């Protein structure tokens, strides 16, 4: 067995080690010396890896490989029944930034029942959306306003804000929504867009005040 094959075997074994520090070093080693033979293993490990910082290193290692090799495999992973597999694949696609992956960011992923998958899909969509597709994407994203806990709502607000000024009329249209959570989230997103330094919690409190007064986001 050649030294290269020995190093390959050692790295693959390292990814399965019980010690997360060993798995981290193995992913780092793979990313430092990219080899297409590692791609499937890196993706499979990302689907089950419990440690966030190791998953981030797995993503980094994948970005070090050829996009033409990695992206098709990640797109296949988006059909996995395992939520973490879908989420991690979306996260990695957002880091690679290859817009050929855009057609794989489906409505089903953008509205996935799992919050982590949906959040990853929102981030990936904003990175990958082709010019001219922003309005349609925003139309899907606003259907998720009011969803989930603060962290999920902040992710959605950031995604919408990432699409730029064109989201404003779309957000204002949500102010007629019967769901008060959606209206509050729309107002908070608009406020955060106008004053990003204030922070999301302040924007939410402002939105609550505006709704209590019965005013619009323009008037508050």
Q: Which pLDDT tens digit goes with each residue over 111-139?
A: 999 999 999 999 999 999 999 999 999 99
Which tokens sit at 32? 């430092």
The whole-number pLDDT of residue 219 equals 43
Residues 90/80, Cβ–Cβ less than 8 Å: no
pLDDT of residue 69 exceeding 70, the answer is: yes
Quote the longest CA-to-CA distance of the chain.
75
pLDDT in tens, 188-199: 999 999 998 888
How far apart CA 71 and CA 41 sit, in angstroms, is 14
Helices (H), 15-66: 20-32, 39-48, 52-63
What residues have CB less than 8 Å from 31, skipping those under 6 apart? 57, 60, 61, 62, 63, 64
Q: What is the pLDDT of residue 174?
A: 85
**Which residue has better confidence, 8 or 147?**
147
Cβ atoms of 189 and 160 closer than 8 Å = yes
Closest C-alpha among 6, 10, 57, 8 to residue 35: 8
Terminal alpha carbon distance of the chain:
71
- Better pLDDT: 3 or 105: 105
The Cα–Cα gap between 12 and 212 comes to: 57
Cα distances from 198 to residues 57, 193, 204, 205, 218, in angstroms, run: 32, 10, 10, 11, 17
Has residue 218 got a pLDDT over 60? no
Residue 220 has pLDDT above 50, yes or no: no
- Taking the mean position of all CA atoms in its chain, how far away is CA 53? 16
Tens digits of per-residue pLDDT, 22-44?
999 999 999 999 999 999 999 99
Instruction: Assign 154 a pLDDT band (cuts: 50, 70, 90).
Output: very high
For the beta carbon of residue 123, count every other beta carbon within 10 angstroms: 20
Nearest Cα neighbor of 48 from 22, 77, 10 is 77
Rounded CA separation 13/33 (Å): 16
């Amino acid at each position: 067995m050649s030294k290269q094959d020995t190093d390959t075997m050692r790295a693959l074994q390292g990814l399965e080690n019980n010690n997360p520090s060993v798995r981290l070093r193995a992913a780092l080693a793979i990313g430092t010396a990219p080899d297409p033979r590692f791609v499937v293993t890196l993706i499979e490990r990302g689907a089950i890896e419990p440690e966030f910082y190791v998953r981030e290193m797995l993503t980094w290692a994948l970005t070090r490989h050829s996009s033409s090799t990695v992206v098709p495999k990640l797109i296949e992973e988006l059909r996995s029944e395992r939520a973490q597999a879908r989420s991690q694949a979306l996260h990695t696609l957002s880091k690679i930034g290859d817009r050929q992956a855009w057609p794989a960011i489906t409505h089903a992923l953008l509205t996935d029942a799992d919050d982590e998958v949906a959040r990853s899909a929102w981030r990936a969509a904003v990175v990958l959306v082709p010019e001219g597709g922003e309005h349609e994407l925003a139309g899907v994203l606003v259907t998720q306003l009011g969803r989930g806990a603060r962290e999920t709502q902040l992710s959605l607000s950031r995604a919408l804000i990432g699409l730029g000024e064109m989201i404003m009329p779309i957000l204002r249209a949500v102010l007629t929504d019967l769901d008060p959570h959606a209206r509050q989230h729309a107002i908070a997103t608009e406020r955060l867009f106008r004053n990003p330094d204030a922070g999301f919690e302040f924007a939410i409190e402002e939105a609550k005040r505006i709704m209590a007064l019965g005013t619009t986001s323009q008037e508050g």
